[in-house]
Chains A and B, each alone.
Chain A
Amino acid sequence: MSTLRFIMDNFDEVMFLSWEHIWIVGVALLIATPIGVVLGIVITKHERFASRVLNGANILMTIPSIALFGLMLPVLAIINMGLGKVPAVIALVLYSQLPIIRNTYTAIKNVPSSLVDAGRGMGMDKWQLLRELEIPLATPVIIAGLRTAAVMNIGIAAIATYIGAGGLGVYIQQGIARVYPEMILSGAILVSLLAIVVDGGMAMLEGIATPEGIKVQRKLSQ
């Protein structure tokens, strides 16, 4: 109850910090999506690089977030960007690569070869195949990858408050420093709530992005 009162009392600040949090995650996703999707498509066409790129993304994912902030700090400090939102966004972009690349890759790999053959038979060239067949069919799975990345990034963005990126993590950080349980709880609850809302929203988007034809097919097969 006291947590709710804390949120109500500081409503303006809560809104501002939430907006900051969403901004960091949103910008990171906007940058990460084209990079990840393009890389994912490229490695389906050049199979040799597939395992290398996926392994590289996997290694990036393994690096602990606070250590990644630490490792980037001296490098970015050269251009005076060691602290703040820039390193946070870069780290989130790097972390998003694995789910996005992996999902794009598997989705395009899983497009039935009969459909690709049908497209070829109709005289589509490589680009048409990609644009009109493979990408539309792969979109729901790619969005599922974005969903994983978004939920994960919301959690990591909370840690980015320690390098001065702001966001809802500020409440957790300040709450720990002041031993103020209501503040910690409101930070934790708001971040989790944000993650759950984004998760639900992306799930809806996944449904919308599924081509009409596939939905009909699924209904028929049930």
Chain B
Amino acid sequence: MTTLLIKLYRVILAIAILAVGVIAERTGLIELLSDPFEYPVIIELFIQHLYIVTFSMAFATVIGVTAGILITRQRLRKFAGLCMYIIGLGQTIPSLAVLALAMSFLGIGTKPAVFALTIYSILPIARNTLAGITAVPPELIDAGKGMGMPPIRILMEVEIPNAMTVILTGFRVALVINIGTAALAYVIGAGGLGDLIFTGISLMQTDKLLAGAIPVTLLALFADFLSELLGLLLVSKGLRLSV
């Protein structure tokens, strides 16, 4: 029974791959990708997309983690609940609206897009940093204190390593949302792969549409996978064992 199912699964997989190939050929996607005038454009848009995502994520990670750490310090901790509430409220604003609002006071182009994506990506990162550090067991911090660690060492050697898994989850969520939202940045003139998708929808030109939609999807899936690998690198071995 099981072997039969596995065989069936393999056959279905083979048919699916074949179907994808046929669709790619029939919609003209392969022709588009092998066109010597078209594929440099696609590559350029892809690089533009990566550029927007990289810069906004770099800013957002630095700002988000710093903000999360600052709020969990002893003196500011009483505002933690309030900050969580504000972040939750901020996350209800749709991504498209954030981009549109950035455009309405920064104009069009790459800069407002990077700005909007930075703001939008800070929220999950800051939220998870905050949640991760608050969830560190107080015994561990007490143990650190007992060993005579100054606050900065408690932060670097106890709090951050223990919160790393949660912080990375926030980073992953932010990265995936960021890649998807960067595809919308086309509407405020920032280019990126959204260019192909929106043009494809407007012209009902399936090949162009797929040439934009497939790379964005793959990019998001790859980024998700990569951040999981990052977890293996950054989360300490002892914590991974206990999970």
A-to-B contact residues, CB < 8 Å:
59, 61-71, 73-74, 77, 82-83, 151, 154-156, 158-159, 162-163, 169, 172-173, 175-176, 179, 181, 184-185, 187-188, 191-192, 195-196, 199
Enumerate chain A residues within 8 angstroms of B100, measured Cβ to Cβ: 172, 175-176, 184, 187-188
Task: Report the bound CA distance from A52 to B100 in whole Å.
Answer: 38
Docked-complex contact B104 and A70, CB < 8 angstroms: no
Docked-complex contact A66 and B194, CB < 8 angstroms: yes
Q: Which 9 A-B pairs have the closest CB atoms?
A: A64-B180, A188-B97, A70-B213, A155-B94, A195-B92, A181-B104, A67-B213, A158-B94, A67-B216
Return the CB mask of B123-167 against A: 1 if under 8 Å, else 0. Answer: 000000000000000000000000000000000000000000000
B201 within 8 A of A: yes
Docked-complex contact A159 and B184, CB < 8 angstroms: yes
Quick one: closest A residue to B208, CB to CB?
Answer: A70
Enumerate chain B residues within 8 angstroms of A159, measured Cβ to Cβ: 94-96, 184
Most buried by A among B23, B180, B212: B180
Quick one: closest B residue to A195, CB to CB?
Answer: B92
B183 within 8 A of A: yes
Enumerate chain A residues within 8 angstroms of B179, measured Cβ to Cβ: 64
Q: Which of B203-243 contact A (CB under 8 A)?
A: 204, 206, 209-210, 212-214, 216-217, 220-221, 224
Enumerate chain B residues within 8 angstroms of A155, measured Cβ to Cβ: 92-96
Docked-complex contact B183 and A66, CB < 8 angstroms: yes
B190 within 8 A of A: no
Docked-complex contact A188 and B94, CB < 8 angstroms: yes
Docked-complex contact A162 and B213, CB < 8 angstroms: no
Contacts A67-B213, A163-B201 given; does A59 touch B94 at CB 8 Å:
no
Report the minimal beta-carbon distance from B142 to chain A, rounded to whole angstroms: 26
> Would you give 28 A-B contacts (Cβ < 8 Å), ordered by A?
A59-B221, A61-B176, A62-B220, A63-B180, A64-B176, A64-B179, A66-B198, A67-B217, A67-B220, A68-B217, A70-B200, A70-B212, A71-B213, A73-B201, A73-B206, A82-B204, A151-B92, A158-B96, A158-B97, A159-B95, A162-B187, A163-B201, A172-B94, A172-B96, A179-B104, A184-B104, A195-B92, A196-B92
Docked-complex contact B212 and A67, CB < 8 angstroms: yes
Interface of A is mostly: helix
Report the minimal beta-carbon distance from B4 to chain A, rounded to whole angstroms: 16
Report the minimal beta-carbon distance from A162 to chain B, rounded to whole angstroms: 7
Return the CB mask of B171-189 against A: 1 if under 8 Å, else 0. Answer: 0000010011101100110
Enumerate chain A residues within 8 angstroms of B198, measured Cβ to Cβ: 66, 162
B27 within 8 A of A: yes
B101 within 8 A of A: yes
Contacts A73-B206, A184-B100 given; does A64 touch B92 at CB 8 Å:
no
B89 within 8 A of A: yes
B119 within 8 A of A: no
Quick one: closest A residue to B88, CB to CB?
Answer: A199
Most buried by B among A82, A179, A184, A185: A184
Enumerate chain A residues within 8 angstroms of B220, measured Cβ to Cβ: 62-64, 67
Enumerate chain A residues within 8 angstroms of B114, measured Cβ to Cβ: none
B197 within 8 A of A: yes
Contacts A159-B184, A185-B104 given; does A74 touch B27 at CB 8 Å:
yes
Enumerate chain B residues within 8 angstroms of A192, measured Cβ to Cβ: 92-94, 97
Docked-complex contact B176 and A62, CB < 8 angstroms: yes
B103 within 8 A of A: yes
Enumerate chain B residues within 8 angstroms of A74, measured Cβ to Cβ: 23, 27, 206, 209-210
Report the minimal beta-carbon distance from B32 to chain A, rounded to whole angstroms: 13
Known pairs A62-B220, A162-B198, A192-B97; list 20 more (Cβ under 8 Å).
Answer: A66-B198, A67-B183, A67-B220, A68-B217, A70-B201, A70-B210, A70-B213, A73-B206, A74-B206, A77-B206, A83-B201, A154-B94, A155-B93, A155-B96, A162-B201, A175-B104, A184-B103, A188-B94, A188-B100, A199-B92
Task: Report the bound CA distance from A70 to B184 in whole Å.
Answer: 12
Docked-complex contact A169 and B216, CB < 8 angstroms: no
Quick one: closest A residue to B90, CB to CB?
Answer: A192
Docked-complex contact A71 and B217, CB < 8 angstroms: yes
Quick one: closest B residue to A188, CB to CB?
Answer: B97
